[in-house]
Structures are given as structure tokens and as C-alpha cells.
């Protein structure tokens, strides 16, 4: 990771030191007094949040930027409350790190710049309060953004010990595995453990569709069986199953808006019934002229949160 940071920052920045755990990080930071600290959330002996809190208690004033594979709002909030000045997803290091560091050094706050999802327009956001369900939609402008979003979602779930079901096109599934492996995730081990289940979106659609629309009984049987099977691979009181895919988005791209809406409604019911996290990925370009329309609003309403890059 140190070489990766050095390579991304390039000229204009000098990496003056590094530490393998939180306790040593405190000693090195106080000794070297750098202009900015890039702190991993997950470290042995003492995590980054605890280390940051200790540094602030001991009077360290310079910027602290957190990085993590987990894009969890609770982790991000805890990191910022401990005294952090920014929080960056590891899946966005290549595209965001250099700009984030220089903006922080210039005094611009980067508390929320880490998200693989940015929401520039409040009209694109739909929220429903439901503690038993997390059903999100991401509208992405290109494949790179799609992979950023899905790799962050999947990576966070696997790192937390959860199981993940991926239902996507073959190119996206192949690229997702490569992206996860490039960021240190052992996808092969997760597959062997049954915690990573990858399925073709078109094949799933052929199984659950009837008369041009999703058949509720077929969908609930297929999805339910997958979730039950995935749940067998995880242990612990708080272990969960997450699912991400593009079945409904494929229907939308094919011009089957009603079918897409019905399928999103069924996924919403699954999210509520099983208490799983679901992420749906839509190509933003397919909504040209549709943003703000009745159909677009219907799709958004079937999700607990909607994000757009």
C-alpha cells in the first residue's frame, strides 16, 4: 500500500514514514510531524480511529485522511468524530487520492469526498425510513464508475465477513473480480467458502420472467433459495447477506419499464423480508430525458436510497 500511495502522489509530495499498526503510527506521527497523515481504519493492535483520537488528544493539529475498503456510514462518522479531516475509499485511491491530498493541504474540507457515490442533485435522492431494509440504486455514467460502486459494495461486505450475491453481465462480473483482486480481496477463497456467488443477469431473467413480466412466485423462490444458501456460509450474530446486480436495469435498457419497476418492487420485498442489503446499478445515459419523469420517480421510489455520480 505504501508503494501505491507513493506512486499515486508522485512529484510534489514526500512520504516521510509509515507504521504497521496504530500504536506505532502515533509514535511516528508525533516524531515526524508530517503535513498530512493517511490513516488506514483497520490496523492491528490499535485501529486508525483510536489512533486518530489519541493524536488529537496529544495536540497533533495537521490533517488526517482515513482510508478504508468499507464504505460504511457508521465507520465514516466515527472516523470523522475522532478528529479525521477526510475519508477515502481504497477503491477510489487511484482516481481520488492525489486531488484529495492537495485539496486538504489547501484547507478545503474533504469529509465526504470518499464516497464512490456522489449526489449533486437533491432531486435524484429518494429515502424511506425502514430499519429492516437497505435497497439502494446507483446511476453510473460509465463502466468505470459502475465497477467503483460495485467493488466498494462487495469489498465492504466481504471484509465484514458477510456473503455477497452478484447478478450481472459476464463482462461486469469478470471485471469486478479483477478489480477486487487488485485491491487485495481473496475472491477465490470467498467463492470456496460460499460467500461469493456470481450469476449471469440474463440467465436469471430467463428463469423468473413470464409473459414479459417478472413472475413473483418464481422470483421469490429463486432469490430466496440463493439467500438461504449464501447465509449458510456466514457465521456470527451480525453476519448478513448482500446482493448487487443489474437485472432490472437490463429490463429498463431493453425498454421494459413496467417490468423493471415490478422487479425492483420484488427486490424491495426481499430486502425487507430477509433483512439484506441490495444495490442495483443503472447506466445513467439510458435515462436521458427521463430524469424527473413519472417512470424515473417510480424506479427511485422502490429504493431506500438513490445515488448518482
CA–centroid distance for 216 within its chain: 28
Higher-pLDDT residue of 8, 60: 60
Q: Which residues, in sequence order, are CB contacts of 281 under 8 Å at separation 6+?
A: 137, 138, 140, 146, 149, 150, 168, 244, 245, 246, 249
Its pTM stands at 0.61
Lowest mean pLDDT among 86-95, 113-122, 253-262, 281-290: 113-122
**pLDDT, tens digit, 9 for 90 and up, residues 222-244:** 998 999 899 999 876 666 899 99
Nearest residue to 89 via CA among 116, 65, 110, 120: 116
Fold classification of 2-114 is Rossmann fold (3.40.50)
**pLDDT, tens digit, 9 for 90 and up, residues 159-168:** 888 999 999 9
Alpha helices in the chain (DSSP H): 2-9, 22-32, 48-57, 73-81, 93-105, 143-159, 170-182, 187-193, 201-208, 216-231, 247-253, 257-274, 294-301
Residue 192 scores a pLDDT above 90: yes
Residue pair 309/118 in contact by the 8 Å Cβ criterion: yes
The CA–CA distances, whole Å, from 230 to 69, 225, 243 equal: 22, 9, 10
Higher-pLDDT residue of 99, 166: 166
Kindly state the average pLDDT of the residues 271-293: 78
Q: Please state, rounded to an integer, the average pLDDT across all residues of the chain.
A: 81
Kindly state the average pLDDT of the residues 25-48: 86
Class of domain 122-308: alpha beta
Domain boundaries, the chain: 2-114, 122-308
Residue 203 scores a pLDDT above 80: yes
Amino acid at each position: 500500500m505504501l508503494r501505491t500511495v507513493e506512486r499515486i502522489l508522485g512529484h510534489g509530495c514526500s512520504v516521510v514514514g509509515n507504521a504497521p499498526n496504530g500504536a506505532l503510527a502515533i509514535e511516528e506521527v508525533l516524531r515526524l510531524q508530517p503535513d498530512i497523515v493517511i490513516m488506514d481504519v483497520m490496523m492491528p493492535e490499535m485501529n486508525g480511529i483510536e489512533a486518530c483520537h489519541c493524536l488529537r488528544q496529544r495536540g497533533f493539529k495537521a490533517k488526517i485522511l482515513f482510508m478504508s475498503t468499507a464504505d460504511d456510514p457508521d465507520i465514516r462518522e466515527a472516523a470523522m468524530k475522532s478528529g479525521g479531516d477526510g475519508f477515502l475509499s481504497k477503491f477510489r485511491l487511484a482516481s481520488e487520492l492525489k486531488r484529495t491530498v492537495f485539496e486538504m493541504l489547501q484547507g478545503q474540507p474533504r469529509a465526504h469526498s470518499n464516497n464512490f457515490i456522489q449526489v449533486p442533485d437533491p432531486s435524484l435522492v429518494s429515502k424511506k425510513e425502514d430499519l429492516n431494509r437497505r435497497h439502494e440504486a446507483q446511476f453510473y455514467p460509465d463502466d468505470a464508475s459502475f465497477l467503483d460502486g460495485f467493488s466498494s459494495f462487495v469489498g465492504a461486505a466481504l471484509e465484514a465477513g458477510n456473503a455477497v450475491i452478484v447478478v450481472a453481465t459476464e463482462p461486469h462480473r469478470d471485471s469486478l473480480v479483477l478489480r477486487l483482486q487488485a485491491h487485495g480481496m481473496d475472491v477465490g477463497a470467498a467463492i470456496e467458502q460460499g460467500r461469493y456467488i456470481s450469476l449471469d443477469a440474463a440467465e436469471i431473467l430467463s428463469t423468473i420472467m413470464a409473459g414479459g413480466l417478472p413472475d413473483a412466485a418464481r422470483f421469490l423462490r429463486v432469490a430466496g433459495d440463493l439467500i438461504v444458501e449464501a447465509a449458510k456460509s456466514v457465521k456470527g450474530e451480525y453476519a448478513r447477506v448482500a446482493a448487487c446486480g443489474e437485472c432490472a436495469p437490463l429490463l429498463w435498457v431493453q425498454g421494459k419499464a413496467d417490468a423493471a419497476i415490478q422487479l425492483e418492487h420484488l427486490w424491495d420485498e426481499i430486502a425487507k423480508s430477509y433483512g439484506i442489503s441490495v444495490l442495483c446499478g443503472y447506466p445513467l445515459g439510458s435515462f436521458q430525458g427521463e430524469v424527473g419523469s413519472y417512470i424515473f420517480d417510480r424506479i427511485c421510489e422502490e429504493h431506500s436510497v438513490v445515488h448518482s455520480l
